Amino acid sequence: MKKYLSFFRLRFTMNLQYRAAAFGGVATQFAWGFMEIMIFAAFYRADENAFPMSLASTASYLWLQQAFLALFATWMTEQEIFDTIVNGNIAYELCRPVDIYGMWFSRSIATRLSRAVLRCFPILIVAAFLPYPYGICAPAGPKHFILFLITLLLGLAMTVSFCVLIYILAFFTISPVGLQMIFTSMTDFFAGALIPLPFFPAKLQTVMELLPFAAMQNVPLRIYSGSMSGHEMQKAVFLQIFWLIVVTAAGKMLCRAAQKRVTVQGG
C-alpha cells in the first residue's frame, strides 16, 4: 500500500505545479458554464413548469459540473500511459515489483484530484455570489450534502476505474485513438455531461440510470441539486457501489490477461 500512496503523492504534488494551466482551465469553464446556463434559461422562459428541474437546480448542477470537471471528464485521460503502451515502454512498467493496475489507478486519482483542487474553489466561490437563479444554491439539506460528498468520491473512483479499463483495452489495439473517441463520447452522453439525465424521456432515463455511466457525475450532482427522492438516492448509491466493483474487477481480470499476451517489439 505504501508504494501506491507514494505514486499518489508524487503525482499529486507534481500536478499542483501547473497553476497557469489551471487558471486557463478556470477561465474556460466559467465561459462554458455561463453559456450553458444562458441556453437553458432561454428554454425555461417559454414554460419553466415543463421541465423536470427548476432553473436554479439546473444552474447548480452545471456549476458543480464545471467545478469538478477534472474528477469526471473521461476525455481527461493520461496520454503518457497510452504512449508507453504504443511505443513499448510498458516493458519498463511491467518490470517494476508493483501491480500495474494499482499504479495506474493511484496515479489517475492523484492527477484528477490535483486538477480539481486548483480549479474548483474559484468556480464555486464566484458561482455562490451570482444572482438567483443563475448561481449555485445551497444543498437541498444536510443529508443531501453528506451523500453528495460520499457519492462524489464514489463517482471519482468509478471514473478512474473506467479510464483504467480503457488503458488496458489499448493493449489489444494498434492505436488507442478509436477507443478514446468511442468511450468518451458514450460517457459524455450517458453520464449527463451534455444534458442532465432528468431531461431525457422517462423510459430512456430509466434505462440510462441503470448503466455504469450514470454512476459517475450524474449521482452526486443530482443529489446536491435535490432532483432525487430518498428512494432514488438509495438506489443510485447502491448502483454506484455495484458498478464500481464490477468495472474494477473486470479491469483487473483484463489486466492479468493482457500481461500474459503482451508483445513488445524493437529495442
> Mind listing the pLDDT tens digit for each residue in 106-131?
999 999 999 898 889 999 999 999 99
Mean pLDDT, residues 178-206: 91
Mean pLDDT, residues 58-63: 93
At 265 the pLDDT is 58
Confidence check: pLDDT of 266 > 60 = no
Q: 3-state secondary structure string, the chain? A: CHHHHHHHHHHHHHHCCCHHHHHHHHHHHHHHHHHHHHHHHHHHHHCHHHCCCCHHHHHHHHHHHHHCHHHHCCCCCCHHHHHHHHHCCHHHHHHCCCCHHHHHHHHHHHHHHHHHHHHHHHHHHHHHCCCCCCCCCCCCCHHHHHHHHHHHHHHHHHHHHHHHHHHHHHHHCCCCHHHHHHHHHHHHHHCCCCCCHHHCCHHHHHHHHHCHHHHCCHHHHHHHHCCCCHHHHHHHHHHHHHHHHHHHHHHHHHHHHHHHHCCCCCC
Confidence check: pLDDT of 267 > 50 = no
> Mind listing the pLDDT tens digit for each residue in 68-81?
999 999 888 888 88
At 13 the pLDDT is 86
Confidence check: pLDDT of 233 > 50 = yes
C-alpha cell at 53: 428541474
Report which of residues 178 and 243 the model is more confident about.
Answer: 243
Task: Band the pLDDT of 263: cuts 50, 70, 90.
Answer: low
Q: Above pLDDT 70, what percent of the chain?
A: 98
Q: Alpha-carbon distance 74 to 64, whole Å? A: 16
At 264 the pLDDT is 61
Calculate the average pLDDT of the chain.
Answer: 88
> Mind listing the pLDDT tens digit for each residue in 22-51?
788 888 899 999 999 999 999 898 887 888
Report which of residues 39 and 20 the model is more confident about.
Answer: 39
pTM value > 0.85: yes
Task: Band the pLDDT of 227: cuts 50, 70, 90.
Answer: confident
Task: Band the pLDDT of 253: cuts 50, 70, 90.
Answer: very high
Among residues 161, 150, 60, 69, the alpha carbon closest in space to that of 106 is found at 161
> Mind listing the pLDDT tens digit for each residue in 120-169?
999 999 999 999 989 999 887 888 899 999 999 999 999 999 999 999 99
* Residue that the C-alpha cell 504504443 belongs to: 86
Among residues 115, 78, 70, the alpha carbon closest in space to that of 217 is found at 70
At 76 the pLDDT is 87
